Structure 1
Amino acid sequence: MAHRFEFTVRSTDIDVIGHVNNAKYLEYMEWARFDWIWQQGFTLDELKRRGIMPVVVNININYRKELHMREEVHAITTVVKVGGKSFVIRHELYNEAEQLVADGDVTMVMIDANTRRSTLLPAELTDALHAELALNQEKSV
């Protein structure tokens, strides 16, 4: 099931043009991503215990509409692709009027915290990712 994360645009997010700075969209997606992965049971403590870390290796983002201070926004996170050591998730940001303001695909690779080399995704995460992917594919049919 798609994960929903809600937040409000803050004054510190605004640039000199008067709208949200482009880099903040990436930060919003990061907030949603951390919340999403924690909901999967992979908190920072759990990741440390396992000696693994998911790292971003690629982000492709589309900016579609401006956001302004105090706007209520929600991020929808879904799974796009699952590999043995990596996965791709999509973030979609929507404004109060339910208009898509930005979307981005994020590729993450699981690495061993000590060697800093890629490692297999934990079985529980792989299972959760595949289950989410199957749900997403059913909805698009």
Structure 2
Amino acid sequence: MWDLPNPFVFELTVQPDAIDHYGHVNNAEYLRYIEQVSWKHSNHLGLTLADYQRLDRAMVVVRHEIDYLAPAFEGETLQIATWIVGFDQRFTLTRRFQLLRPADGKTLMRGRTHFACVALSTSKPRRLPEEFVTVYLPALIREKDVVQG
């Protein structure tokens, strides 16, 4: 069902305000889902917004890549998964995402987001704090090491 092993999964129900004039989930909502699951995963691993603020660091989006594969509709239960698939332990982190409709097993979206570390106080690039490395490195899944079925 999932593209990679050991996903962090967040379940959601499509709300009425997510629907666009075409009658399905607006593509901008997928970015919200990506942001939500990213924060939930970071929190699950042990890093919260308070930690980011205390360390004067943020992981900011450099690039989003999203493939919209099928529409979602109001009231549907969806699951979005994330994996950390790139982490240089200095400045950058990359996540992959997969949005699935459990009712039929259909993948609705696949995405990838590249992040860079900056100081919150200046918005300038800064090295990742050791705390980030300690938390994120064990969650890294190297795509090249995953055997595809």
- Give 2:15's match in structure 1, choosing from 6, 10, 13: 10
Distance 2:58 2:142 in 1: 26
Q: Are 1:20 and 2:28 matched, yes or no?
A: no
CA contact (8 A) 1:2 1:132 kept: no
Q: Which residue of 1 aligns with 2:3?
A: none
2:140 aligned counterpart, secondary structure: helix
AA partner of residue 85 (structure 1): F
Structure 1 segment 70-89 matched on structure 2, within 5 A:
70-83=75-88, 84-89=90-95
Q: CA RMSD in A?
A: 1.8
Give, in angstroms, the shift of residue 44 of structure 1.
1.0
Unaligned regions of 5+ residues in structure 2, if any?
A: 1-5
**Residues 1:128 and 1:47: Cα distance change in structure 2 (over 3 Å):** closer
Structure 1 segment 1-141 matched on structure 2, within 5 A:
1-83=6-88, 84-96=90-102, 97-134=104-141, 139-140=146-147
Distance 1:116 1:41 in 2: 23
Residue range with higher mean Cα deviation, 122-131 or 17-26: 122-131
What is the aligned length? 141
1:15 aligned counterpart, secondary structure: coil
More helix by share: 1
AA partner of residue 100 (structure 1): T
TM-score (norm 2): 0.86
TM-score (norm 1): 0.90
Q: 4+ residue runs of structure 1 moved beyond 6 angstroms?
A: none
**Residues 1:124 and 1:2: Cα distance change in structure 2 (over 3 Å):** farther
- Percent of pairs with identical residues: 26
CA contact (8 A) 2:83 2:141 kept: no
